[in-house]
């Protein structure tokens, strides 16, 4: 007690450096299962009165609202001490008020769970992608995606286990474009030393924490000599500080070719924004599709969780056929981030049991189950396995 009050008296700035959480207690870094990401950089917000956390929820478009409703339902059922502050973002209006409200809510709560917000690419360039705006405003510089083959899901390649770390704020997604002459458009790809070092450092720290052996940087420095050359150089610099982890690099087109033929050679991969988009979608496809992989976006102060491939799923919205696995596993990542590991492991275990043992699959992975059936099965697994649920009290 004395130690924590002494720690509390330290200026706020020093606490993260000394590995202390906001409450002044040393932040526990748990190794744990391979599936949850304990990020050393981000300190989660403390629980409010009653030990309950408040998390911003952005339903988004397409399948987002229905999947997030299922998440809420599941959390209520499992007595998870998380309250959701729902912020709706209307993607069709031109004003950016909605997304700025969402950003303010995330700044307030520190953590968010979101569905994908649709971007109509036929709108003029002044109408920016809402998702991108959110990521850059909150400086969520690292996108982490852990692709693991699920034994119960039929895929061409088995036993894939790749972590993809993608720079999330700059690169080709800088949204800096101009038409210099009529009919000639220039789009700027920005690579900075600061962000490249930051993402490389994040990648190596994560690799070390999770006991991974190898980090591969994906680039196209043979063509984009200055831009990707800088990225590669930064990765090499950071790699020299981690002699226990092997570092190599691969050109992006060769990477995609190797991924579809020999995916087991990859361990941890780090790359700039656009290549991250391509590689993460290829890997998600390899392990079974967009409905299975959760993704996390981390910044120094905020964390936002969503599905890894960020699909809106407009064509399957409201049909009760979407796969809730990705969103449920994303909510588990969120619970891990909030240090509610017991709840995270409980829900994750139940979801994986449904996928691998009960094998209740939705249409996207070759089954015939509906979304609600899968969620019911997860609830049943929780009820039979874990602590008391609302129905038993």
Partner 1 sequence: MICLKRSAPSRHLWKEGLISSICTLVSRVVGAMKSQASHPRTFSRGLQTVTLIPGDGIGPEISTAVMKIFEAAKAPIQWEERNVTAIKGPGGKWMIPTEAKDSMDKSKIGLKGPLKTPIAAGHPSMNLLLRKTFDLYANVRPCVSIEGYKTPYTDVDLVTIRENTEGEYSGIEHVIVDGVVQSIKLITEEASQRIAEYAFEYARNNQRASVTAVHKANIMRMSDGLFLRKCREVAENFKDIKFTEMYLDTVCLNMVQDPTQFDVLVMPNLYGDILSDLCAGLIGGLGVTPSGNIGANGVAIFESVHGTAPDIAGKDLANPTALLLSAVMMLRHMGLHGQAKKIETACFDTIRDKKVLTKDLGGNSKCSEFTGEICRRVQDME
Give the C-alpha separation, 247 to 238, whole Å: 10
Nearest to 175 by CA among 141, 146, 215, 135: 135
Give the C-alpha separation, 290 to 11, whole Å: 43
> Based on CB atoms, which residue is closest to partner 1, 92 or 180?
180
CB of residue 263 vs partner 1: minimum separation in angstroms?
A: 10
The reply to whether 260 sits near partner 1 by the rule CB under 8 A is: yes
CB of residue 159 vs partner 1: minimum separation in angstroms?
A: 14
Burial group, residue 36, by CB count within 10 angstroms (0-12, 13-18, 19+): buried
Binding segment for partner 1 among 43-51, 134-142, 250-258, 378-386 (CB under 8 A)? Answer: 250-258
CB of residue 96 vs partner 1: minimum separation in angstroms?
A: 15
The reply to whether 281 sits near partner 1 by the rule CB under 8 A is: yes
Inter-residue contact 140 to 345 (CB < 8 Å):
no
b/e burial code for range 276-294 (CB count within 10 A of at least 16 → b): bbbbbbbbbbbbbbbbbbb
CB of residue 233 vs partner 1: minimum separation in angstroms?
A: 11
> Based on CB atoms, which residue is closest to partner 1, 291 or 349?
291
> Based on CB atoms, which residue is closest to partner 1, 230 or 335?
230
> Based on CB atoms, which residue is closest to partner 1, 245 or 287?
287
Binding segment for partner 1 among 4-12, 119-127, 320-328, 347-355 (CB under 8 A)? Answer: 119-127
Q: Which of 4, 69, 256, 370 binds partner 1 (CB under 8 A)?
A: 256
> Based on CB atoms, which residue is closest to partner 1, 110 or 263?
263
The reply to whether 265 sits near partner 1 by the rule CB under 8 A is: no
The reply to whether 92 sits near partner 1 by the rule CB under 8 A is: no
The reply to whether 129 sits near partner 1 by the rule CB under 8 A is: yes
Give the number of residues in contact with partner 1, rule: CB under 8 A.
63
Give the C-alpha separation, 73 to 64, whole Å: 14
Residue given tokens 């007690």 in the structure block: 1
Q: What Rg value do the Cα atoms of the chain yield, rounded?
A: 21
Give the C-alpha separation, 64 to 84, whole Å: 15
Q: Which of 190, 317, 321, 363 binds partner 1 (CB under 8 A)?
A: 190
User: What character string, x for contact with partner 1 (CB under 8 A) and - otherwise, covers 302-321?
Assistant: -------xxx----------
The reply to whether 91 sits near partner 1 by the rule CB under 8 A is: no
Inter-residue contact 187 to 177 (CB < 8 Å):
yes
Q: Which of 157, 205, 214, 359 binds partner 1 (CB under 8 A)?
A: 157
Give the C-alpha separation, 344 to 53, whole Å: 14
The reply to whether 177 sits near partner 1 by the rule CB under 8 A is: yes
Backbone angles phi, psi at 267, to 5 degrees: -120, -80
**Helices in 293-353 by DSSP H: which ranges?**
325-337, 341-353
Binding segment for partner 1 among 3-11, 64-72, 106-114, 276-284 (CB under 8 A)? Answer: 276-284
Q: Which of 17, 156, 243, 384 binds partner 1 (CB under 8 A)?
A: 156
CB of residue 213 vs partner 1: minimum separation in angstroms?
A: 24
Give the C-alpha separation, 155 to 365, whole Å: 9
Inter-residue contact 5 to 314 (CB < 8 Å):
no
- Residue 340 makes CB contacts below 8 A (sequence gap 6+) with 53, 80, 81, 82
Give the C-alpha separation, 66 to 74, whole Å: 12
Inter-residue contact 252 to 275 (CB < 8 Å):
yes
Q: Which of 3, 6, 29, 257 binds partner 1 (CB under 8 A)?
A: 257
The reply to whether 143 sits near partner 1 by the rule CB under 8 A is: no
> Order of strands across the sheet with 214-219?
82-86, 53-58, 111-114, 303-307, 294-298, 142-148, 161-167, 268-271, 214-219, 246-251
The reply to whether 282 sits near partner 1 by the rule CB under 8 A is: yes
CB of residue 14 vs partner 1: minimum separation in angstroms?
A: 27
CB of residue 172 vs partner 1: minimum separation in angstroms?
A: 7
Q: Which residues would be at the binding site for partner 1 (CB under 8 A)?
A: 119, 121, 123-125, 127-129, 132, 156-157, 172-173, 175, 177-194, 220, 223-227, 230, 252-254, 256-261, 274-275, 277-278, 280-282, 284-286, 289-290, 309-311
């Amino acid at each position: 007690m004395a130690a924590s009050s002494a720690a509390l008296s330290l200026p706020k700035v020093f606490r993260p450096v000394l590995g202390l959480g906001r409450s002044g207690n040393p932040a526990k870094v748990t190794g744990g299962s391979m599936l949850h990401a304990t990020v050393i950089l981000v300190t989660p917000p403390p629980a409010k009165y009653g030990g309950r956390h408040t998390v911003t929820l952005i339903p988004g478009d397409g399948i987002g609202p229905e999947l997030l409703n299922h998440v809420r339902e599941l959390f209520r059922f499992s007595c998870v001490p998380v309250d959701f502050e729902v912020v709706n973002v209307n993607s069709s209006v031109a004003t950016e008020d909605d997304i700025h409200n969402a950003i303010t809510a995330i700044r307030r709560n520190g953590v968010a769970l979101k569905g994908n917000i649709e971007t109509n690419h036929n709108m003029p360039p002044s109408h920016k992608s809402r998702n991108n705006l959110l990521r850059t405003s909150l400086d969520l510089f690292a996108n982490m995606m852990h692709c693991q083959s699920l034994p119960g899901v039929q895929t061409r390649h088995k036993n894939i286990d790749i972590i993809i770390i993608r720079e999330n704020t700059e690169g080709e997604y800088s949204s800096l474009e101009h038409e210099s002459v009529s009919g000639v458009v220039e789009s700027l790809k920005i690579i900075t030393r600061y962000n490249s070092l930051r993402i490389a450092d994040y990648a190596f720290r994560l690799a070390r924490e999770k006991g991974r052996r190898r980090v591969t940087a994906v680039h196209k420095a043979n063509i984009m000599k200055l831009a990707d050359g800088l990225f590669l150089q930064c990765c090499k610099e950071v790699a020299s500080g981690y002699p226990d982890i092997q570092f190599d690099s691969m050109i992006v087109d060769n990477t995609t070719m190797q991924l579809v033929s020999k995916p087991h050679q990859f361990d941890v991969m780090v790359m700039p924004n656009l290549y991250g988009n391509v590689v993460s979608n290829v890997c998600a496809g390899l392990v079974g599709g967009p409905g299975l992989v959760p993704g996390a976006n981390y910044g120094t102060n905020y964390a936002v969780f969503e599905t890894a491939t960020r699909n809106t799923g407009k064509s399957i919205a409201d049909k009760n056929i979407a796969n809730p696995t990705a969103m449920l596993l994303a909510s588990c990542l969120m619970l891990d981030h909030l240090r509610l590991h017991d709840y995270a492991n409980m829900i994750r275990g139940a979801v994986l049991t449904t996928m691998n043992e009960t094998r209740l699959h939705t249409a996207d992975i070759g089954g015939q189950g509906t979304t609600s059936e899968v969620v019911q099965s997860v609830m049943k697994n929780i009820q039979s396995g874990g602590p008391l649920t609302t129905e038993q009290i």
